[in-house]
Chains A and B, each alone.
Chain A
Amino acid sequence: MSHRISRRRFLKIAGLGTAAAAASGLSRSARVVAASPKTAAETRSVPTFCDICFWKCNALAHVRDGRLWKVTGHPDDPLSRGRLCPRGTGGIGAHFDPDRLRAPLVRHATRGEEKWVEVTWDEALGQVAERMLKIKAEHGPEAMALFSHGIGGTFFKHTLKAYGSPNIAAPSFAQCRGPRDVGFELTFGEGIGSPERTDIRNARCLVLLGSHLGENMHNTQVQEFAEAIAQGSSIIVADPRFSIAASKAKHYLAVRPGTDLALLLAWINVIVTEELYDADYVAQHGFGFEHFEAAVASYTPEWAYPETGVPAKLIRDSAREMARHRPATLVHPGRHATWYGDDAQRSRAIALLNALLGSWGRKGGFYYPSMMDVPAYPYPAYPKSARGKVDNPDHRYPFASETITTGIREATLSGKPYPVKGWLVYATNLLQAMPNEDETIRAIQNLDLLVVSDVIPSEIAGWADIVLPEATYLERYDELNVEMFREPFVALRQPVVEAPDDQKPNWWIARQLAVKLGLQDYYPWQHIEEYLDFRLKGIGSSLAEMKQKGVLRGPAAPLYFEDGVAPEFYTPSGKIEFFSPQLQQAGFDPVPVYKRPESGPPGSFRLLYGRSPVHSFSRTQSNPILRDAMPENEIWINARVGRRMGLASGDYVRLRNQDGVLSNRIRARVTEAIRPDCVFMVHGFGHTSKGLRSAYGKGASDARLITRYAVDPLMGGTGTNVNFVTIEQEA
């Protein structure tokens, strides 16, 4: 009897996934306490948002008997929809990480030796301020640059702007999505942004070039990918590696690395010559279609076959498949687009293919995101900088729409257009994030001051003069998350547990630094709670309410042209530019032109890299929970190549790149799932920082092997799939 009741109740509730104790259930769970002590314990849940990557899913952090227990998705979150990705689920490991930075450190040996003395915050920030003021006096405020990645950098940016420097950059542009957004801006007048405005959920046909969803775990993207699979949407994947996404595909194209532009142009050619494109859409919104039509005429699938290694028939079939489902065909723009240096043009080709299919502004294509209008906190105006930004002198890269990290590095090395003498580095491991580690180290040698704020002893922290240990995202307040998305929302990050040692939150550090720099006027608020409460009151909420709710959703706005979005394109022509006069004027191809990628030395393999679902870049390898899930990375080697070399999966090898750089030892994964002309590894491993005891020397680092990079002439992005390695057996 009681079984029936509790079963019914279970079945009813399970769907909702909300806690509720069936009378009979409770009496039993009392009996299984042995099997799971925690049921008896005292627990509380605190809403906040995740920071293991930049998706910023809203979450509930659960504390049991005063100890952090687990993090789960916030049921009312449009991003996570109640389910975090594996990294977010393992996020509590960031709090427990035994290798964490504990107190401010000042270097007492030569740079990079990782020798420190612990000091008080007052002393550490005092030194930073003193040396920043010296740099300002001798070289001007622009000589101080800030590298900052993620929402935690908000107040550091504020402090540096108040100090007078415009040189603020994140790797998310020149090492990540820059080319993609530029390619789309040039075509539609708008970028893709983050979270991506891709309507995967409603796509009837989804095309992925790279974009290894399922390994790339950007939460909403993966969830919607699964929905697409469930709906039986036809999936087309082009990847030299048989990725997880490829295993779900109807058409898998094992494209030769670096030839995607040829593939894209061939697809375009089929759709144009067979007149499969959305003629009305093109006529209504398109600009320069005739030129474009002529320009792509020669790129037949037969032409593309020898370039891409993809049979002409497969190219045709997949192109027709796309056309069949238009406008609900989404050719995914990707995110990490910095591959070969022709990336903005490749992204433009992706944009143009989507334009042909009429998917921009249409259901199942690219929706129009909306954002909540949360008033900014009123600050005094920032000082005007006499000199322009240092990263892109006389607009060498005319279409760079954000600051170029590697541009700042170049200026630091050359002293041109003006010297850069200080780096403030917040939450970005520049030695793993930027190509050519050696250039970064040489640039650091030119500095008078390198300050790094991190949570663990990262490689970049190892080179710092002063290290500022931050509290993890589970131990601090942060700027509100207000983002362009499917529906407007605002989210709060708040402390769940206390920082274990002398770590401080970014807002406190940035504010104290400003005060010591004599910039206290820029911080009218004493505690971030005042700041947050002010902004939240501006939307009729309050900090008190948000501490309870965590996330507030705004009224959904129309998403597509069909439900009332005005088709406006912020290009010079005000239309979708199939042919781009601004590119032509700047001396670039107005319609993308394919150039064959350089091949590597004989007997070498192109080094490709990507994500593991359980790690984020170089930041999670010492997280005890995620490390347990994947302690080291592997190098994927084609089965035939492996057999020829007498390699078996699990054997340790070392990789030597074209410039003689030798990698740390890494296990081989000898597999059919990769082309014979390339190898693949997960980014972020092979740590060289001794402070990361649990991750030190585990696996190999792709970054160390990436000594070469192809700079995108349009926007200064660094294409890093241009390195080649040979494989050396480990005795």
Chain B
Amino acid sequence: MTRLGMVIDTRKCVGCMDCVVACKTENDVPDGHCRDWINQRLEGEMPALRLTITSERCNHCDRPPCVSCCPTGASHVHDYGNVVLVDHDKCIGCKACLASCPYGARFIHPQGYADKCTFCIHRVEQGLEPACVAVCPTHSMYFGDLDDPESEVSRLIASRRHFVLKPDAGTRPRIFYLE
């Protein structure tokens, strides 16, 4: 099985939003909406400060409540890479999935369906990296198969200290942040 996931190096990331802008153009994300975003967490007092920058998006969770709660099956786990996708033509816009996502990763597209990060499946299935990964000027983002111990992402997770977002939500996110 292939389990696609992402590893993001918070040491290198400068929070430049290139990943956000690239997603916008690659996927025609409508004005005033975003599939990915940057969070900054600043701790301490001047001059002893610590800043953690995270480039965030749908975590393509292994236990996705957004899929289980969907009444139409529009939210589904794609057969390649366990990528969580929304089938626009099945979506009735009930917003259960928006309410169920602990990460606020989803939004209602102006055309009425629930939208979010697709891991750029249309690129990945052509052997390309997701647009955000491919654009990152600091090479902070890595993408690959978490089930393949040889993959870059697996090796990074194995070799470096990392964290995931909101582990207590129990969704088993598949985006890992290197410390």
Contact = CB atoms under 8 A, between A and B. Distances in A.
Contacts of A83: 18, 134-137, 139
Interface string B118-134: 10111011111101001
A34 B2 contact: no
Interface in A228-277: 229-230, 242, 244-248, 252-254
Contacts of B131: 70
Interface of A: 3, 6-7, 9-14, 17-22, 25-26, 28-29, 32-36, 38-39, 69-73, 83-86, 89-90, 92, 213-215, 217, 219, 222-223, 225-226, 229-230, 242, 244-248, 252-254, 613-614, 624-626, 628-630, 638-639, 671-675
Given A22-B126, A84-B137, A214-B14, 8 more contacts: A21-B125, A70-B26, A85-B137, A222-B138, A223-B137, A223-B138, A614-B21, A629-B17
B36 to A, nearest CB: 11
Contact of B17 (A84, A86, A248): A86
Given A19-B127, A20-B126, A21-B126, A613 B14 contact: yes
A614 B19 CA distance: 11
A253 B134 CA distance: 34
Given A32-B121, A226-B12, A254-B47, A19 B129 contact: no
Contacts of A253: 47
Contact of A17 (B1, B44, B128): B128
Nearest to B15: A244
A35 B18 contact: no
Contacts of B163: none
B168 interface: no
Interface in B73-125: 78-80, 85-89, 118, 120-122, 124-125
Contacts of A69: 25
Q: Kindly name the residue among B1, B11, B27, B137 whose own CB sees the greatest number of chain A CB atoms within 10 A.
A: B137
B21 A22 contact: no
B145 A11 contact: yes
A29 B122 contact: yes
A226 to B, nearest CB: 3
Given A34-B87, A36-B122, A14 B25 contact: no
A89 B25 contact: yes
Nearest to A62: B25
A26 B126 contact: yes
B135 A72 contact: yes
A628 B35 CA distance: 13
Contacts of A14: 127-129, 143-144
Contacts of B66: none
A6 B21 contact: no
Interface centre among A21, A73, A86 (most CB of B within 10 A): A86
B51 interface: yes
A672 B44 CA distance: 8
Contacts of A71: 25
B162 interface: no
Contact of A672 (B46, B88, B122, B137): B46
B25 A11 contact: no
B122 A38 contact: yes
Contact of B25 (A3, A70, A242, A630): A70
B135 A3 contact: no
The residue in A14, A83, A248, A614 that gathers the most chain B C-beta atoms within 10 A of its C-beta is A14
B50 to A, nearest CB: 8
B25 A36 contact: no
A215 B126 CA distance: 33
22 contacts: A9-B127, A12-B127, A13-B128, A28-B125, A36-B120, A39-B126, A71-B25, A85-B137, A86-B21, A89-B21, A215-B14, A217-B137, A222-B14, A229-B11, A242-B47, A247-B50, A248-B14, A625-B24, A638-B46, A639-B46, A672-B42, A673-B49
Contacts of A244: 14-15, 51, 53
B144 A672 contact: no
A622 to B, nearest CB: 13
Contacts of A639: 46
A71 B24 CA distance: 12
A135 B18 CA distance: 47
Contacts of B14: 213-215, 222, 225-226, 244-245, 248, 613
Contacts of A26: 125-126
A361 to B, nearest CB: 28
A72 B131 CA distance: 9
B12 A219 contact: no
B122 A32 contact: yes
Nearest to A30: B125
Which 6 A-B pairs rank lowest in CB-CB distance, beginning with the nearest? A214-B14, A226-B138, A13-B127, A247-B51, A613-B16, A36-B122
Contact of B42 (A19, A213, A219, A671): A671
Contacts of B88: 34-35
Contacts of B80: 3, 6, 28
A400 to B, nearest CB: 34
Contacts of B47: 242, 252-254
A214 B16 contact: yes
Given A6-B80, A32-B78, A89-B135, A248 B125 contact: no
Given A39-B122, A672-B49, A84 B135 contact: yes
Could you say which of A11, A34, A638, A675 has the most chain B C-beta atoms within 10 Å of its C-beta? A11
A613 to B, nearest CB: 4
A69 B27 CA distance: 9
B179 to A, nearest CB: 13
Given A7-B148, A83-B135, A35 B25 contact: no
B20 interface: yes
Contact of B118 (A19, A36, A674): A36
Given A19-B126, A25-B125, A214-B14, A242 B22 contact: no
Interface in B36-70: 42, 44-47, 49-51, 53
Contacts of A6: 80, 125
Nearest to A71: B25
Nearest to A8: B148
Given A11-B144, A22-B127, A28-B80, A626 B21 contact: yes
Contact of A35 (B1, B86, B129, B134): B86
A648 to B, nearest CB: 15
Contacts of B127: 9-10, 12-14, 18-22, 25
A624 to B, nearest CB: 7
A256 B80 CA distance: 55
A675 B46 contact: yes
Given A242-B49, A613-B17, A629-B17, A226 B139 contact: yes
Contacts of B148: 7, 11
A528 B85 CA distance: 49
B24 A90 contact: yes
B40 to A, nearest CB: 9
Given A36-B121, A672-B42, A25 B126 contact: yes
Nearest to B32: A628
Given A10-B124, A90-B21, A217 B49 contact: no
B22 A89 contact: yes
B72 interface: no
Contact of B125 (A32, A90, A226, A614): A32
B171 interface: no
A226 B44 CA distance: 24
A639 B49 CA distance: 13
A19 B131 CA distance: 12
Given A13-B127, A39-B122, A628-B32, A90 B25 contact: yes
